[in-house]
Chain A
Amino acid sequence: MALKLADYKTPVFADWCPGCGDFGILAALQMALSELQLPHSRVAIFSGIGCHAKTPHFINAYGVHTLHGRSLPFAIGAKLANPDLEVIVVGGDGDGLGIGAGHFVNTGRRNVDMTYLIYDNGVYGLTKGQASPTLRLGLRTKSLPKPNINEGVNPIALALATGYTFIARSYAYDVRHLKETIKKAVRHRGMAVVVIQQPCPTYNNINTKEWYGGEDRTDSVTGKPTPRLYRLEETGFDGVVHSPEEVFSKMVAALTMAQEWGDRIPMGVFYQNEFVPTYQERISKRIPAYLGMPPAKQPIGDPSGRPTTYAKKMLEMLKVTG
């Protein structure tokens, strides 16, 4: 029986602020799961701490709401133990690029086959609007006593530098684009990251829905706003590496596009490279039986509780008498 969108919802009340971008992300994620027809019990959604972190509670699938900045290590542990799981990690910009930055970097190096969605709104919402690592230098959002003294990190460029093999940007209020981007990320063989631009109606009064929509820049002829976000694919940009020789040029192109911000903000796939072996493949090279018999599926004891590990050989190696 086909799974319906409603099957991916829980009755838990979503307590985000009215107008929060998280609602769009949640809807897009639930739609993507439903369109991919992923069974609930195969899906595990991991989150960190912050507004984004409540997401798993609203999705009818295994949901692991972890610690601030630590969602990636939890998810990696679960995925490596049971590679049949479809693991989707959600994180905030402060969560993933501030306190969890070390995990973000090292996750790129591993290319575990899973998906990471970053909810990027430039502020720490739950603690009342402090500057997040993606807020640009000199900006002063509503609750900052002084303008931001740090430069903002560029998550697309950072992901590229650290080895993510699928890097995309989307927008919380463009649910259709986001849903399609999430589906691509989930289908990608390797570590995918989607940076989701998301207004925070309560604390970020600069990068608002109106700002992203360009309502401050109406076309003098048509009178219509000129949105800041545009779609990369509509410009003919193709971030996909089609042969290993293209890796360098595609990275350079992606890095170049990643610099765009302000008046024009690209959305879509910046870079995708499936020629990099996944962590699971790397393990399989060392442990050929890994995918068929991963840690979570190994019989460790017989029904009476006798261990299956045959330790005799290892003990023989240590033997000095007898």
Chain B
Amino acid sequence: MAGGPQGSGVDSGANIFARACCYGGLHIYGKREYHSNIKGLHSYFHVRVSRKEVAADVDRVDLLCTFDAESVVRHVWEVSPGGGVICDAGELGTRILDIPTWPAPFLEEFGRILDEKGIKPETVGDLLETVKSSNVRTYAVPYHDLLAEIAREIGEPKLSRLTRMINVLSLGASFGLVSYDKRYIERAIRATFGEKPDIISMNLRALNKAYDYAQERFGDFGFKLEPVPTDEERILLQGTQAVALGKLVGGCRLQTYYPITPAADESEYLEENEIFELDNSPIKGATGSMIVMQAEDEIAAINMASGAALTGTRAATSTSGPGFSLMVEGLGWAGNNEVPVVINYYQRGAPSTGLPTRHGQDDLRFALHASHGEFPRIILCSGDIEECFYDAARAFNYAERYQTPVIHLIDKALANSTKSCRMFDPSSVMLERGQLLSEEEVRGGEYRRFKITESGISPRVALGTPGAVFWNTGDEHDELGHISEEPMMRTRMLDKRMRKLETADREIPAQERVNFFGDADASTVVVSWGSPKGAILEAMQRLRQEVHRIGFLQVRMPHPLPRDHIAEVLGKAKTKIAVEGNYSAQLAGIIREKTGVAMDYYILKWSGRPMSADEVHDALKLAMLGKAPRRQVLTHGS
């Protein structure tokens, strides 16, 4: 784990660490936590390194790399026995209470733990002394002395210019402790700092300095990080990038957004890649491009996307909870006018205007019910970074086939997690555009945009198609699209729109809507959606090793919910356990509403932090042993 004040390079330091591990054939999973703040408040990045693929965070910290005193105090008790803390030798004498950034609730909790442990450390050094008994070792690195040496070597008069490299000193020391092959780290530094040779050489110097310092002074850490040769093609990315790539492959050509955490990362990545090559294009030599439009607010963002979608363009907007709140009226309009617009919705914690940088899964009900009136919509939920890619692409297929808004629910944990993934397979993505009429197909006769059909789907033309015209309105309308307040027309037209949902429910196979993992005949079935997937799968693996049989039903399309399939799976289970990152078990409620099946246990979390595999394991185990209360609330993670 790397921790430090925001703006001190926690992200880049942890990314270099993760990248270096990946170069050596290791897998990584990184969780990023940060405050709603630009500079100064605490942030950390927890990187798991493993020989096998990992998709969840755990509680344990083996090596804590701190850039400042606060990070030591906040995380020291998370370090496992046999682990170590790398810290600034210059901060050992810092009095804990003199650290200016403590929020009051932290100090209260900290004081309570001190009382419980019966210790009274005054300084950072005192605190580190207290954990020695649990075999947590301190590795104090004189960051400033090392920086001063570098300054002398390169003739830099201003030491302050070098303090940005404390992150590389810290990770250099950590790699030195575990004797990791330096070539991978150097490559990671080069890759991170790209085309800035001066910065690369300075950082390489810092890396070597700290690496050698650790090797010479600290001796054997007791663990050597060995590379694992691999032929497998892997990529390292975060959820927002996976969504962006899925959209590009899925044919999205116009994206709108208003800046919001953590969704904006996706749009920025798209803007960086706004021009791209085409493969099997019917037009020779054409390049592809996407317009990424920063709107004045989310109201404009969704309506611009709808305007673009009317022209036959695959268009999307990307946002988080507060932004989606503003989009609600536009969502209803798109539903009423059968516009295939896609909304990538990154959930985060809390209501107005939220825990801006913290995790949550509180918005399933909101996504399902947002808007006055009734209209069909489709909701997709990704459970991991790979699914983010494939779901982002297929969202457009559903939107166009059923001519209705699709909400792709993602969450902060997925957005900001970094993971080594097997190379994505864009060739497995197919585009299905539904009933989109060409100029030739529409010629002759009057075109009726909202023709009442059995399936509810009316053949669509792109706005601008020669030979046709249509009208849209947020009011109820006739088949041409003109306002109609006639009761029969209203009755029939709404019925037509809603039939599309039944058509979708009939046509989309269950395997596109749910995943099932584990033992098919297990008497215990876990039900969840979204990012807890990784933690649940890992917890299950452990439980199965402990000889518990367990199955996991992951819902990927909560609306329309594949009710019969879910009822059948859950009907066989004796114990049903809902695991969700919200207070009210929103999916469990929807399942009960649609199938009549109620859960036996609830494992819930709304602390603003994602679930760790450990806490999910423990909670599931208690439930399976019949020792858990009906409702367990998880709180792990700092």
Q: Is B9 an interface residue (CB 8 A)?
A: no
List residues of A (137-179) whose CB comes within 8 Å of B's CBs: none
* Residue pair B472, A289 in contact (C-beta under 8 Å): no
Instruction: Kindly provide the distance from the CB of A125 to the nearest chain B CB, expressed in whole angstroms.
Output: 16
The answer, among A10, A41, A82, A105, for a CB contact under 8 Å with B313, is: A82
Closest to A74 in B: B307
- In the assembled complex, which residues on chain A have CB atoms less than 8 Å from the CB atom of B230? 321-322
The segment from B104-112, B463-471, B558-566, B582-590 that touches chain A is: B463-471
- Complex: how many Å from CA A73 to CA B254? 13
* Residue pair B249, A65 in contact (C-beta under 8 Å): no
Q: Is B37 an interface residue (CB 8 A)?
A: no
* Residue pair A286, B307 in contact (C-beta under 8 Å): no
- Complex: how many Å from CA A78 to CA B303? 10
Q: Is A39 an interface residue (CB 8 A)?
A: yes
Most buried by B among A39, A76, A304, A310: A310
List residues of B (507-558) whose CB comes within 8 Å of A's CBs: none
List residues of A (27-74) whose CB comes within 8 Å of B's CBs: 39-42, 44, 46, 49, 54, 56-57, 60-67, 70, 72-74
* Residue pair B234, A319 in contact (C-beta under 8 Å): yes
The answer, among B283, B304, B429, for a CB contact under 8 Å with A307, is: B429
- In the assembled complex, which residues on chain B have CB atoms less than 8 Å from the CB atom of A295? 253-254, 289-291, 308, 311, 313, 315
- Complex: how many Å from CA A210 to CA B395? 57
* Residue pair B291, A314 in contact (C-beta under 8 Å): no
- In the assembled complex, which residues on chain A have CB atoms less than 8 Å from the CB atom of B309? 77
- In the assembled complex, which residues on chain A have CB atoms less than 8 Å from the CB atom of B303? 66-67, 70, 73-74, 77
Instruction: Kindly provide the distance from the CB of A19 to the nearest chain B CB, expressed in whole angstroms.
Output: 22
Closest to B238 in A: A318
Q: Is B366 an interface residue (CB 8 A)?
A: no
The answer, among A42, A46, A293, for a CB contact under 8 Å with B286, is: A293
Instruction: Kindly provide the distance from the CB of A290 to the nearest chain B CB, expressed in whole angstroms.
Output: 6
The segment from B165-173, B294-302, B373-381 that touches chain A is: B294-302
- In the assembled complex, which residues on chain A have CB atoms less than 8 Å from the CB atom of B466? 39, 41-42
- In the assembled complex, which residues on chain B have CB atoms less than 8 Å from the CB atom of A303? 282
Q: Is B98 an interface residue (CB 8 A)?
A: no
- Known A77-B305, A102-B296: A318·B274 in contact at CB below 8 Å: no
* Residue pair A319, B305 in contact (C-beta under 8 Å): no
* Residue pair B311, A85 in contact (C-beta under 8 Å): yes
- In the assembled complex, which residues on chain A have CB atoms less than 8 Å from the CB atom of B423? 315, 319, 322
- In the assembled complex, which residues on chain A have CB atoms less than 8 Å from the CB atom of B278? 299, 308-310
Instruction: Kindly provide the distance from the CB of B629 to the nearest chain A CB, expressed in whole angstroms.
Output: 43
Closest to A60 in B: B469
* Residue pair A73, B289 in contact (C-beta under 8 Å): no
* Residue pair B463, A62 in contact (C-beta under 8 Å): yes
- In the assembled complex, which residues on chain B have CB atoms less than 8 Å from the CB atom of A320? 19, 22-23, 234-236, 420
- Complex: how many Å from CA A285 to CA B293? 15
* Residue pair B274, A287 in contact (C-beta under 8 Å): yes
* Residue pair B315, A81 in contact (C-beta under 8 Å): yes
Q: Is A3 an interface residue (CB 8 A)?
A: no
Closest to A307 in B: B249
- In the assembled complex, which residues on chain A have CB atoms less than 8 Å from the CB atom of B393? 307
List residues of B (425-474) whose CB comes within 8 Å of A's CBs: 426-427, 429-433, 462-474
The answer, among A63, A77, A301, for a CB contact under 8 Å with B315, is: A77
Q: Is B277 an interface residue (CB 8 A)?
A: yes
* Residue pair B463, A64 in contact (C-beta under 8 Å): yes
The answer, among B23, B276, B288, B467, for a CB contact under 8 Å with A41, is: B467
List residues of A (94-128) whose CB comes within 8 Å of B's CBs: 102-103, 105-106
Q: Is B322 an interface residue (CB 8 A)?
A: no
- Complex: how many Å from CA A296 to CA B241? 24
Q: Is A12 an interface residue (CB 8 A)?
A: yes
Closest to A45 in B: B471
Binding site for A on B (CB under 8 A): 19, 22-23, 25, 230-237, 241, 245, 248-251, 253-254, 256, 273-283, 286-291, 293, 295-297, 299-301, 303-315, 329-330, 333, 393, 420, 423-424, 426-427, 429-433, 462-475, 481-483
Closest 8 CB pairs of A and B: A77-B307, A300-B251, A322-B233, A77-B304, A295-B253, A320-B22, A81-B308, A106-B296
Q: 11 A-B contacts, Cβ less than 8 Å apart? A: A41-B469, A70-B300, A70-B330, A82-B462, A290-B289, A296-B313, A296-B462, A298-B286, A298-B289, A315-B235, A320-B235
* Given pairs A63-B470, A310-B278, 20 additional interface contacts (CB within 8 A): A57-B473, A60-B469, A62-B469, A74-B307, A77-B254, A78-B310, A78-B463, A80-B304, A81-B291, A85-B463, A287-B289, A290-B289, A293-B287, A301-B430, A303-B282, A306-B280, A307-B251, A308-B281, A315-B235, A319-B233
